[in-house]
Amino acid sequence: MIYTQLDECEMIDDLMLDDNGGWSYPQAESLAAYYIQLSKQMEGSMRWDAVSINSDWRAYDSEEEAINDFDSVEEFESNTAIITCSDATILLQEF
């Protein structure tokens, strides 16, 4: 097996080049930073998969818009990972 170590710019480029994701630059930057931090916390290697990321995360213009997809604020807060991007959009991962 051959592994390639990606830097943050390569992760951002990978997300931006995937038409199915439709990420803005600030969103791609935030996702890359999230996964870099996650890999440091895990103290191990991770497999980068932009396709999986595209299916795991959704973008919203605001937190209020995101909350509308849930039955309650409590459900929203307890069942999601939330990233606030530099352009004030919200990225949500449900679990």
Cα 37 to Cα 3: distance, rounded to the nearest angstrom: 19
Cα 28 to Cα 6: distance, rounded to the nearest angstrom: 14
For all residues of the chain together, what is the average pLDDT?
90
What does the pLDDT read at residue 57?
A: 95
Domain extent listing, the chain = 8-94
Which regions of the chain are under pLDDT 50? none
Size of the chain, expressed as the number of residues it contains: 95
What does the pLDDT read at residue 1?
A: 67
